[in-house]
């Protein structure tokens, strides 16, 4: 696990329609890949309306040509939650996994604006039983709701179904700090398990913390299993940069994770869409190799970046 990933940058995903009116206003945020039964890669993402509220969309790509959509985006797959609900100001997909009964579980981040703090973020669940054509909310309350240990954020999950259980790496926190006179959240990465993907523990096990004082948060975990171990990809909120950068941790022999940010290996280019920030990297294993999807400057204002690993890995979560 000591070698950095080597990437071929492929550019921005061509969605087949411009980012903007009439189908949406801006952004393609938090790209989330899922391999379909047809062998294509479905890329779930959120696009914003004029009030900055995200809704989930999906577009499919051929793994051999992952920078071009096979058809324009479809959606929104879900509407905003009812007024006062945890997801009434945004529904942002974060993880898509097939359950033991064949149903597709879509875990999403619900955004709720607040008065004394800027917002709260909790995790909702929607389920598809028609191979992703339609999704139905599991309920109007989160499957990861606030607890005394994780008061404001239980969100950004990466979920796998392994050996009869759902395993989740997620973002959690209950505090705010200030960067350049702006309140920003404080959160880290935690781990939890569930037998049904619906009922989760009230608090997770901390697995990776931000490095104080230079960082204030770790977001969007994504587990990658290589032939010789595990890497946990994360997005790092850096105080000096005022933006996300990509980070990585390696699982050690004691079961804990050790930061090795240099292993991500995805560099930017001057003047590119990601020259100031890179975030939300997610990997998917395909017959054509491992594909990486991510966002650049301004949380995906330009769209979804695509890259291909130059070495084939055994499994990418």
pLDDT at 2: 72
pLDDT at 73: 97
- Quote the CA–CA distance of 230 and 223 in Å, as a whole number: 7
pLDDT at 241: 81
Task: Report CA-CA distances (Å) from 51 to 54, 143, 250.
Answer: 9, 26, 39
- Quote the CA–CA distance of 41 and 146 in Å, as a whole number: 33
Which residue range is the domain that position 249 belongs to?
A: 7-309
pLDDT at 312: 57
Q: What is the pLDDT of residues 125-180, one digit of tens each?
A: 999 999 999 999 999 999 999 999 999 999 999 999 998 999 999 999 999 999 98
pLDDT higher at 2 or 313? 2
Single out the residue of 19, 5, 9 nearest to residue 270, CA to CA: 9
Q: Confirm whether 98 is domain-assigned.
A: yes
Q: What is the pLDDT of residues 29-74, one digit of tens each?
A: 999 999 999 999 999 999 999 999 999 999 999 999 999 999 999 9
CATH of the domain at 303: 2.115.10.20
pLDDT at 240: 82
At residue 113, the 3 state secondary structure works out as: strand
Centre a 10 Å sphere on the Cβ of residue 37 and count the other Cβ atoms it contains: 10
Residues present in the chain in total: 317
Q: What is the pLDDT of residues 76-109, one digit of tens each?
A: 999 999 999 999 999 999 999 999 999 999 999 9
Centre a 10 Å sphere on the Cβ of residue 178 and count the other Cβ atoms it contains: 10
Q: Confirm whether 314 is domain-assigned.
A: no
Residue 1 tokens read as: 């696990």
Q: Is the pLDDT of residue 314 over 80?
A: no
Q: Is the pLDDT of residue 1 over 80?
A: no
Task: Report CA-CA distances (Å) from 131 to 53, 79, 103, 276, 283.
Answer: 26, 19, 7, 37, 21
Q: How many domains does the structure of the chain reveal? A: 1
Q: Confirm whether 63 is domain-assigned.
A: yes
Mean pLDDT taken over the chain: 95
Q: Confirm whether 1 is domain-assigned.
A: no
CA atoms within 13 A on the CB side of 257: 26
- Asked whether 124 and 108 are in contact (CB, 8 A), the reply is yes
Q: Confirm whether 118 is domain-assigned.
A: yes
Q: What is the pLDDT of residues 110-125, one digit of tens each?
A: 999 999 999 999 999 9
Q: Is the pLDDT of residue 28 over 90?
A: yes
Q: How far apart, in Å, do the first and last CA atoms of the chain sit?
A: 16
At residue 149, the 3 state secondary structure works out as: coil
- Quote the CA–CA distance of 144 and 153 in Å, as a whole number: 9
Single out the residue of 57, 59, 18, 56 nearest to residue 40, CA to CA: 59
Q: Confirm whether 247 is domain-assigned.
A: yes
Which residue in this structure is represented by tokens 């309350």?
141
Q: Confirm whether 317 is domain-assigned.
A: no
At residue 269, the 3 state secondary structure works out as: coil
Q: Confirm whether 76 is domain-assigned.
A: yes
């Amino acid at each position: 696990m000591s070698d950095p990933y080597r990437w071929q940058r492929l550019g921005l995903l061509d969605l087949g329609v411009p980012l903007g009116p009439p189908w949406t206003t801006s952004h393609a945020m938090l790209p989330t890949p899922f391999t379909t039964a047809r062998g294509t890669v479905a890329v779930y993402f959120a696009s914003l309306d004029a009030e900055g509220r995200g809704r989930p969309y999906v577009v499919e790509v051929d793994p051999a040509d992952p920078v071009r959509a096979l058809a324009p985006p479809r959606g929104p797959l879900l509407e905003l939650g009812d007024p006062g609900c945890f997801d009434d100001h945004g529904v942002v997909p974060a993880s898509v996994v097939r359950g033991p009964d064949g149903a597709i579980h879509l875990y999403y981040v619900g955004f709720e604006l607040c008065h004394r703090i800027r917002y709260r973020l909790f995790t909702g669940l929607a389920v598809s039983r028609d191979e992703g054509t339609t999704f139905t909310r599991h309920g109007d309350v989160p499957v990861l709701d606030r607890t005394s240990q994780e008061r404001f954020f239980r969100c950004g999950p990466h979920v796998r179904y392994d050996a009869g259980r759902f395993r989740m790496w997620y973002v959690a926190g209950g505090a705010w700090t200030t960067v350049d006179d702006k309140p920003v959240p404080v959160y880290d990465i935690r781990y939890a398990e569930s037998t049904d993907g619906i009922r989760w523990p009230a608090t997770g096990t901390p697995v990776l913390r931000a490095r104080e004082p230079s960082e204030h948060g770790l977001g969007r975990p994504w587990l990658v299993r290589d032939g010789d171990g595990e890497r946990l990809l994360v997005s790092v909120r850096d105080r000096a940069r005022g933006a996300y950068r990509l980070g990585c941790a390696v699982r050690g022999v004691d079961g804990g994770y050790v930061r090795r940010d240099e292993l991500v290996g995805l560099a930017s280019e001057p003047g590119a869409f990601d020259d100031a920030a890179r975030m939300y990297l997610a990997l998917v294993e395909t017959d054509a190799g491992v594909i990486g999807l991510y966002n650049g400057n301004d949380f995906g204002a330009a769209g979804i970046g695509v890259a291909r690993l130059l070495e084939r890995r055994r499994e990418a979560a």
